């Protein structure tokens, strides 16, 4: 899946909402405490299990779908969650976030903030479960998810606090580890945010272990996520994640953390060769590959002297 860069107007509107929250919290230092955000926004949080009907029965009488009570369809919410494999969802009318207790704890922080993102974006409020004016349009759903993801990243990484640190050091996977500790988010989420923040051509691949593919590995679609910085899209937009993954397969080893690194040539949209530094680690869940532009490739021309 390729990341989506929001248009400047949507990004600015969302940033204004995030800025207000951080300002009302007193512009705290990282990491951000989500319980403080929930208290500020007067949000409640519950956990659910698709194997337990208790929570669904508790809220079923107050939930509405497309403006209608769904008490007469008590299985709707449970079916909705199971069919769409949701890790979390927000109930706008209840101002309540529901998180799957089957979701690994390190990932619950992101899931919760993603739902907070939906809540703080004003134009997401009217969209409710089952409202076919909105939810049956796949492109609308994808746009909403991209906007909520952007809001979550800007909130979890506290806007300029992350940007200042990200741009003041050489972009490496070691920097990702340092930023993970400072902001209290997962390695993968920090990796994703760093790449989108960089002001130089850079890309990231989130994949399985390149030397130990899982049973469901699809060589035609090897990347779970292909993340790019805006300058990379502008100059190297024709480069695919599949092509970059083939490079990763060529230099990676069978290790458990550091899988390898290389400098390689990648051509831009004008077919001009550039040198990129690539490095890959495996964090037991994902292989993370970071590629950053080093310089334009200089071709040496040998001129023989006449006898």
pLDDT digits (tens, 9 = 90+) for 245-301: 999 999 999 998 999 999 999 999 999 999 999 999 999 889 999 999 999 988 655
* H/E run at residue 264: strand 258-267
CATH code for the domain in which residue 62 is found: 1.10.10.2910
The predicted pLDDT at position 67 comes to 43
Tens digits of residue pLDDT in 48-64: 876 665 655 555 545 54
In a shared domain, residues 264 and 275 = yes
CA–CA separation, 227 and 88 (whole Å): 23
Residue 303 lies in a domain: no
Distance of CA 263 to the CA centre of its chain: 26
What is the three-class DSSP state of 24?
A: helix
Domain range enclosing 133: 8-155
In a shared domain, residues 97 and 163 = no
Tens digits of residue pLDDT in 57-91: 555 545 544 444 444 455 555 555 555 556 888 87
Number of domains observed in the structure of the chain: 2
* Between residues 57 and 32, the one the model is more confident about: 32
The predicted pLDDT at position 132 comes to 42
The predicted pLDDT at position 256 comes to 87
CATH code for the domain in which residue 182 is found: 3.30.450
* H/E run at residue 188: helix 187-197
Task: Categorize the per-residue pLDDT at 304 as very low, low, confident or very high, splitting at 50, 70 and 90.
Answer: low
In a shared domain, residues 83 and 113 = yes
What secondary structure does DSSP assign to 209-258, as a single string? -TTS--TT--TTS--SEEEE-HHHHHHHTT--HHHHHHHHHHH--S-SSE
Secondary structure letter of residue 2 according to DSSP = B
Tens digits of residue pLDDT in 110-151: 999 999 999 999 988 755 444 444 444 556 778 889 999 999
Mean of the per-residue pLDDT values for the chain? 87
Q: How many CA atoms lie within 13 A of 291 on its CB side?
A: 28
The predicted pLDDT at position 55 comes to 58
In a shared domain, residues 134 and 258 = no
Tens digits of residue pLDDT in 201-236: 999 999 999 999 999 999 999 999 999 999 999 999
Last residue of a domain, one of 118, 140, 155: 155
Last residue of a domain, one of 155, 175, 195: 155
In a shared domain, residues 31 and 147 = yes
Q: How far is CA 276 from CA 191, 290, 300, in A?
A: 17, 10, 18
Last residue of a domain, one of 87, 121, 155: 155
In a shared domain, residues 191 and 127 = no
């Amino acid at each position: 899946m390729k990341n989506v860069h929001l248009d400047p107007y949507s990004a600015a509107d969302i940033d204004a909402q995030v800025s207000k929250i951080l300002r009302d919290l007193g512009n705290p230092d990282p990491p951000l405490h989500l319980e403080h955000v929930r208290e500020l926004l007067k949000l409640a949080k519950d956990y659910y299990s698709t194997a337990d009907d208790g929570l669904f029965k508790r809220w079923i009488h107050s939930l509405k779908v497309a403006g209608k009570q769904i008490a007469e369809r008590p299985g709707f919410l449970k079916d909705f969650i199971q069919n769409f494999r949701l890790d979390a969802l927000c109930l706008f009318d209840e101002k309540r976030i529901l998180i799957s207790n089957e979701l690994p704890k390190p990932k619950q922080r992101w899931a919760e903030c993603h739902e907070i993102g939906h809540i703080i974006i004003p134009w997401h409020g009217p969209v409710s479960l089952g409202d076919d004016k909105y939810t049956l349009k796949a492109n609308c759903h994808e746009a909403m998810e991209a906007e909520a993801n952007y809001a979550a990243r800007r909130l979890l990484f506290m806007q300029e606090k992350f940007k200042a640190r990200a741009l003041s050091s050489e972009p490496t996977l070691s920097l990702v580890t340092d930023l993970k500790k400072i902001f209290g988010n997962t390695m993968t989420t920090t990796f994703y945010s760093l790449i989108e923040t960089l002001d130089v051509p850079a890309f990231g691949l989130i994949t399985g272990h390149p030397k130990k593919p899982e049973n469901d590995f699809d060589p035609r679609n090897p990347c779970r996520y292909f993340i790019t910085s805006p300058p990379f899209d502008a100059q190297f937009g024709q480069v695919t994640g599949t092509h970059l993954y083939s490079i990763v397969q060529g230099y990676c080893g069978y290790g458990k953390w550091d899988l390898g690194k290389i400098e390689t040539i990648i051509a831009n949209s004008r077919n001009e060769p550039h040198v990129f530094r690539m490095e890959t680690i495996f964090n037991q869940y994902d292989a993370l590959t970071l590629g950053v532009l080093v310089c334009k490739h200089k071709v040496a021309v040998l001129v023989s002297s006449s006898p």
